[in-house]
Structure 1
Amino acid sequence: MFGRAPVAPVRPRRWMRRLVMWLVLLLGVFYVGVGWYVSGEIIAGIEVTDPEVGHEIDIVELSAGSITLDVSDYSRAAEDRDAVMGLRWEGGYARVGPATGAGTIETRPFTLLEGTPPPVGASIADLDGFAFPGDPTSLGLDFAKVSYPGPDGDLSAWFVPGTGTRWIVAVHGLGAAPREFLRMLDSTRELGMPTLIVSYRNDPGAPATEGALILAGQEEWEDVAAAVEYATTQGATDVVLYGASMGGALVLSYLLEEPAAPVAGVVLEAANADLRHAIDLRSGEALPIGGPIGDSFLAVGRVFTTMRTGIDFDTVDYVARADDLTAPMLVFHGRDDTTVPFAVGAALAAARPDLVEFHALDDTGHVRAWNEDPEAYRAILRAFLEGLGS
């Protein structure tokens, strides 16, 4: 006769809903913080800063024709062990050959190129991948410093005169300098090609951008265009573009933005052809975790990087855009490159095997094709340039 009172439906407790809301909020704040940190690391990697020359190498012994070094504090000791390098110290510069010896004590052939011999002692010298001091006169070559109008103000270049109307236009890497291409000039001098080794925005004396950032060619291609325009006004009928590291990104962007440009061929060394891929491959340096979680951190970091700098990672993915490239290319990339990982160069070569002559260099670091084997580099480069025809 008397039924039981109906049981009211159980509602989720308010504290549970609030806990979930707080967890979601905290997770969002955490991702924002990590994403902002990751974007800061990415931005630091595309910022031009004054190069610091730290004398991190001890000189243990110097004798006629050889030098013994302690490279305990040199971060690229393993990468550069078999390379021909420059050695610089206060008051002098030398070329040193591949190392022998065990551990961090290595002995190298020694040839003084400039100044006086170094003293024996701690923190005296540093190794220099450019391998030559000064300017083209160190190779016995005449050159002139020239200037020409760029999109944001005058730009400068080294001009090495030659014969013929096909010029080499060389674009150095991020934070590097024209001296980077003395190795190339050492290999091409007998061809006598006029050569323009150019500067671009944020170089010393060049127009500066906000934050001194290089957006992987997204905007800087216009500086390459200005250099090519200058070459054509000075008698060049076509050019061979040479891009090293970030300079390779600028060259690739120019090729895509100006498909009708008078480009006979392209040489790329350790070109940063896909900034997103390069960042992903190097993410372990900044993130303690990988897998899907690490990938999500990188994705958020890239979003913040775009917001903070305006860079479009799709625009500067020149591997994905490689279908629109038309010029024959010679591409060098070292398997031990820790700056622009080897996989980036290999991906570009795989995307256009019809255009790219790819040289995967064993036991070779970043922009070290000449250093690891000067004679092989010279032969490959000259064969490519001579094979382009007229």
Structure 2
Amino acid sequence: MKASRRAVGATPTDALRAVLFLLTGALAVMTALLAFVAARMARRVVTPAGRRTDTRILDVDVAAQTITLTRSPDTALPGRYGLFTAGTEGYLKLGSVLSGDEDSVTRKLLTHIGSDAHLAADAAFSGWYFDRPEQLHLPFESELVGSAVGPCPAWIFPAAEPTDTWVIQVHGRGTNRAECLRAVPLFHGLGITSLLVSYRNDGSAPRSRAGTYGLGATEWRDVDAAIGLARRRGARRILIMGWSMGGAIALQVALSSAHRDLIVGVILESPVVDWRRVLTYQAHLMGLPTAVAGLAIGALSTEWATPLVGTEARIPFERLDVVARASELRHPILILHSDDDGFVPSDASHDLVVARPDLVELQVFDTARHTKLWNYDQDRWSATITDWLERHDFTPQHA
């Protein structure tokens, strides 16, 4: 009788199974990694953060009153800007670029620095220019706007003469109402009262239960409460101006406010018109795969993921996409946006004009970067807004 022969070693089928097992494991690890990165991105988007240092002070020449900074697309911009610092000075106003090379930029100081000043190297370049209302040398009053989350601090800059035309200014993500101070002198000169508001979780207004942004889906209610205050104070025609995320908030107010009958127009500076495009763009800037942005958007937009990302409720991206909702718009809109914004891409602003050319006007800047259009070209910025207001007959009706 012949002995049976048994194969020694793995068969081709065994090898294929092993390869598939390894590939499945690698895919699971990769998927988990992408999900982890997406969750971190999602949480970062909705979590209010402090001011981020983005430049270094290389030298301060007290005799010449100049300051040298590391070079970046922002620090090399022409115009007037601000610099948040640490040490004996907390904020500096910066003038024009005097010189520079591939690594550094020297600018004129518009805030006087004494010989005993000591500044930390890390700083934050800013488009604010004004950081306190007193710097405008205009009469103003502090006010509290009652909202669902509690009293939200605001500043009112009344027009020189009583008027029923007000502009409500809405600041962007990670900033506060001081961001809007640049616009006050223009409106004051046109006889329009300015109301600069705060909203939940911005560091000035009360904190919501979760303490996270709704990207405009919740904050608009605080701005709507401010319109109610303006109405009680005699406003009969209201303009809303939003900066960056404040643009997303302003658009939600225009679409959903109980006071829509008072709103006559909307002005948007470097606005977020569609958050999904912004998040995809931001992922690209961070060198992340497009899939990460998709996963982050998916996590933010689903109820089951709210404990993971820290929000109180899902982010309704479909409601925040104003291009998709363009048919619902009822008010004239002026958009000022730089095509090289560097933070919020301008393509959704362009698309909104295409969708509603009867209502939306876009003034395209270049080089100006994000929310720095006033700083880069104040004359054009001011003339554009003034011309739009006059063409739409939004001049004040004095009380």
TM-score w.r.t. length of structure 2 = 0.83
Structure-1 separation of matches of 2:74 and 2:158? 37
Greater shift, 314-323 or 43-52, is seen at: 43-52
Structure 1 residue aligned with 2:81: 85
Greater shift, 28-37 or 48-57, is seen at: 48-57
Alignment of 1:334 onto 2:335? no
SS in 2 for 1:112: coil
Structure 1 residue aligned with 2:274: 274
Shift of 1:256: 1.7
Structure 2 residue aligned with 1:291: none
TM-score w.r.t. length of structure 1 = 0.84
Structure-1 separation of matches of 2:83 and 2:24? 55
Cα distance change on mapping 1:87 and 1:302 into 2, 3 Å = closer
Deviations 1:296-326 (A, max 9, x none): 3432332223323311222221221122111
Matches within 5 A, 1:3-22: 13=13, 16=16, 20=20
Shift of 1:77: 4.0
User: For 1:389, which of 360, 373, 393 is the aligned residue?
Assistant: 393
Structure-2 separation of matches of 1:122 and 1:197? 31
Structure 1 residue aligned with 2:165: 166
Unaligned runs of 5+ in 1: 1-11, 289-293
Alignment of 1:313 onto 2:313? no
Shift of 1:60: 4.1
Matches within 5 A, 1:95-106: 95-103=93-101, 104-106=103-105
Cα distance change on mapping 1:29 and 1:317 into 2, 3 Å = farther
Matches within 5 A, 1:1-390: 13=13, 16=16, 20=20, 23-24=23-24, 26-52=26-52, 56-63=56-63, 67=66, 69-72=67-70, 75-77=72-74, 80-87=76-83, 89=85, 90-91=88-89, 93-103=91-101, 104-112=103-111, 116=114, 119=117, 123=121, 126-135=124-133, 137-162=134-159, 163-258=162-257, 260-288=260-288, 294-306=289-301, 307-308=305-306, 309=311, 310-389=314-393
Cα pair 2:58 2:69 within 8 Å, conserved: yes
Structure-1 separation of matches of 2:22 and 2:90? 63
Structure-1 separation of matches of 2:349 and 2:128? 21
SS in 2 for 1:200: coil
Cα pair 2:201 2:208 within 8 Å, conserved: yes
Structure-2 separation of matches of 1:346 and 1:124? 36
Cα pair 1:48 1:174 within 8 Å, conserved: yes
Counterpart AA for 2:354: A
SS in 1 for 2:318: coil
Structure-2 separation of matches of 1:49 and 1:210? 17
Cα distance change on mapping 1:366 and 1:86 into 2, 3 Å = same
Cα pair 2:168 2:195 within 8 Å, conserved: yes
Counterpart AA for 1:193: I
Cα pair 1:38 1:286 within 8 Å, conserved: no
Structure-1 separation of matches of 2:43 and 2:272? 15
Unaligned runs of 5+ in 2: 1-11, 395-399
Counterpart AA for 2:30: F
Deviations 1:217-268 (A, max 9, x none): 1122211211111111111112000000001111111222238442111110
Greater shift, 256-265 or 228-237, is seen at: 256-265
Structure-1 separation of matches of 2:248 and 2:155? 21
Deviations 1:265-313 (A, max 9, x none): 111011111110011122223344xxxxx33343233222332331122
Counterpart AA for 2:215: A
Structure-2 separation of matches of 1:274 and 1:244? 14
Shift of 1:130: 0.6
Shift of 1:76: 4.6
Structure-2 separation of matches of 1:225 and 1:154? 13
Structure 1 residue aligned with 2:8: none
RMSD over aligned CA atoms reads 2.9
Structure 2 residue aligned with 1:6: none
Structure 1 residue aligned with 2:9: none
SS in 1 for 2:231: helix
SS in 2 for 1:300: helix
Cα distance change on mapping 1:55 and 1:134 into 2, 3 Å = farther
Shift of 1:193: 0.9
Cα distance change on mapping 1:117 and 1:193 into 2, 3 Å = farther
SS in 2 for 1:192: coil
